[in-house]
Amino acid sequence: MLSYLLLALLVLTIAAYYAGLAKARAFAAATGHHKSHHSLAGYHGAFVAAWAGIPSFLLVVLWLLFQGPVVDQLLIVSLPVERLQDLDAGQLNLLVSEIKSVAKGNIFGTPDEVVLAAAERYNSWNGIASWAMVASALSLTVVALFVARSMLAPRFRARNHVESITTVLMITCSLIAILTTVGIVTSLLYETMRFFSMVSPLEFFFGLNWEPQIAMRSDQVTAGGAFGAIPVYVGTLLIAVIAMLVATPIGLYSAIYLTEYASDGLRAVVKPLLEILAGIPTVVYGFFAVLTVAPAMREFGELLGFSIAPNSALAAGGVMGIMLIPFISSLSDDALNAVPQSLRDGSYGLGATKGETITRVLLPAALPGIMGGILLAVSRAIGETMIVVMAAGIIAALTLNPFEPVTTVTVQIVTLLIGDTEFDNPKTLAAFALGLVLFIATLVLNVIALTIVRRYREQYD
């Protein structure tokens, strides 16, 4: 029904556009010369269409938001008082859910009279509400169409009205993006606060022991649970550093080669090939790390006589570094290409070689862009999940040895939340605290990266 309603609104909106257009053309034809009109006919049409479509669409959205809670309240009020006695909030919720599932036709066992009657009421109220929504939305559209159309006149400033409506629409779109971010951060903050009410922040931020297993039932025998996150962060940093040690030189040198040395034909082939790397799903990188790189490293280590763990930080970090190469090479390539040709000419004209020109003029000039690319890659590295879930360890060992397995923030969040979880114990809530710290870290890195890029960007032309 909702889709038919939206379709009808769309049709009416289009009709409104043509109604406005027709009226504007009519008075244009009546006066003869278009100079006496303020706006083009299309703006008159758009003005009527906007007023016909937008308010009723908003009405439908609001209606859908509030219909559920309002009907629920009516339902609860309509239940017999004796049935509501002795019910706490949880049991009441259970009762309402039961009524709703009966109303949908999912009947388990034999529901009692009260529930059946309530389900019937629930269905009929929902039906009434839906029809009321259709009726009010359609009538609002039609009324708005005629009111807006009656406002049209040769000197009516339709263009200005349409432009301000467009502005409001654009502001709304950006607000939706911003508000979503705010919502995500708020929910993270809220759950983190709950975590810190159970586990001391001191332990979380400075503890050296991460063993988040806790007893789920009273008869279970496990460790008491330790939430010192330092080993997790050290592991994350270790893998990120290894990844950057792989990605930065390879990415930067390939960018320099592509912009300064490669012929146009070679560049046309190599650059897309390099960017294919960016299109490989991270889970495929994970396979590569687990099945190819890690065993190869282990065998190589055995050859040299020392042991490398099968899920070593080196394998995970190395493969993550390969994933980040196109990131760095593509951003550095853009930065180097943005350096104007006149600077290259100036340097060559003074007798500088290609190498001198690159190290003394091009790289310093492109440095902000390159730094920005590197920092963005770092924030990708610490937030990357799939490769480390597959290739890194789960046990949080506090070590800087790249041959040992380490775990990362993202791996821990995944393991904490896998399986049946209740969000009322520190084990699962710890995931939110880890997530919040991760979010803040990547946010800070991104802000620094963007500030560097903005502040030090040379203003050419």
- Residue 253: CB minimum distance to other proteins, A: 21
Task: Tell me which of 361, 371, 391, 409 binds other proteins, using CB under 8 A.
Answer: 361
Q: Given the rule CB under 8 A, which of 206-214, 222-230, 236-244, 353-361 is the region that contacts other proteins?
A: 353-361
Residue with tokens 């654009």: 170
Task: Annotate each residue in 182-221 with x if it binds other proteins (CB under 8 A) or - if it does not, as one string.
Answer: ----------------------------------------
Which lies closer to other proteins via its Cβ, residue 361 or residue 376? 361
Closest alpha carbon to 38 in 19, 24, 56: 24
Q: Based on CB atoms, which residue is closest to other proteins, 240 or 365?
A: 365
Interface region with other proteins, contact rule CB under 8 A, candidates 36-44, 361-369, 372-380, 427-435: 361-369
Give yes or no for residue 340 binding other proteins (CB under 8 A). yes
The only residue of 307, 360, 394, 424 in contact with other proteins, by rule CB under 8 A: 360
The Cα–Cα gap between 309 and 299 comes to 10
User: Any contact of residue 356 with other proteins (CB under 8 A)?
Assistant: yes
For other proteins, give the closer residue by CB, 351 or 419.
351
Shortest CB 178 distance to other proteins, Å = 35
Tell me the CA distances in angstroms from 202 to 205, 227, 396, one per residue in order.
5, 10, 18
User: Which residue's structure tokens are 């586990």?
Assistant: 199
Name which position in 69, 279, 305, 351 contacts other proteins (CB under 8 A): 351
User: Could you tell me the smallest distance in angstroms from the CB atom of residue 264 to other proteins?
Assistant: 8
- Is 315 a binding residue for other proteins by CB under 8 A? The answer is no
364 touches other proteins by CB under 8 A: yes
CB of 274 to other proteins, least distance (A): 22
User: Any contact of residue 410 with other proteins (CB under 8 A)?
Assistant: no
Is residue 260 within the footprint of other proteins (CB under 8 A)?
no
- Site for other proteins (CB under 8 A): how many residues? 22
Contact yes or no for 278/380 (Cβ under 8 A)? no
Nearer to other proteins, 349 or 419 (CB): 349
Counting contacts by CB under 8 A, is residue 14 touching other proteins?
Answer: no
**In whole angstroms, what is the distance from residue 6 CA to residue 64 CA?**
13
Name the minimum Å distance from CB 337 to other proteins. 16
The two tokens of residue 263 are 């012929």
Window 111-130: residues binding other proteins (CB under 8 A): none
The residue type of 398 is: L
When asked if residue 261 is in the footprint of other proteins (CB under 8 A), the reply is: no
**Structure-block tokens of residue 287:** 């396979």
Q: Which of residues 262-291 bind other proteins (CB under 8 A)?
A: 263-264
- Decide: is 348 part of the binding site for other proteins (CB under 8 A): yes
Task: Please select the residue that binds other proteins; options are 345, 424, 443, 447, rule is CB under 8 A.
Answer: 345
Candidate list 96, 138, 343, 414; residue touching other proteins; CB under 8 A: 343
- Within 220-259, which residues bind other proteins (CB under 8 A)? none
Least Å distance, CB 361 to other proteins, is: 5
The residue whose two tokens read 């008491």 is 224
Contact with other proteins (CB under 8 A) among 39, 347, 407, 410: 347
The yes or no reply on residue 334 touching other proteins (CB under 8 A) is no
| 123 CB burial (10 A radius; 0-12, 13-18, 19+) | middle
**Least spacing, CB of residue 36 vs other proteins, in Å:** 46
107 vs 270, beta carbon nearer other proteins: 270
Within 13 Å and on the Cβ side, how many CA atoms surround 286?
14
Indicate which single residue of 14, 230, 245, 352 sits in contact with other proteins (rule: CB under 8 A). Answer: 352
> 127 or 364: whose CB is closer to other proteins?
364
Q: How far is the CB of 394 from other proteins (least distance, A)?
A: 48
Determine if 342 is a binding residue for other proteins (CB under 8 A): yes
Check if the beta carbon of residue 227 is closer than 8 Å to that of residue 199. Answer: yes
Site residues (vs other proteins, CB under 8 A): 263-264, 340, 342-353, 356, 360-361, 364-365, 458-459
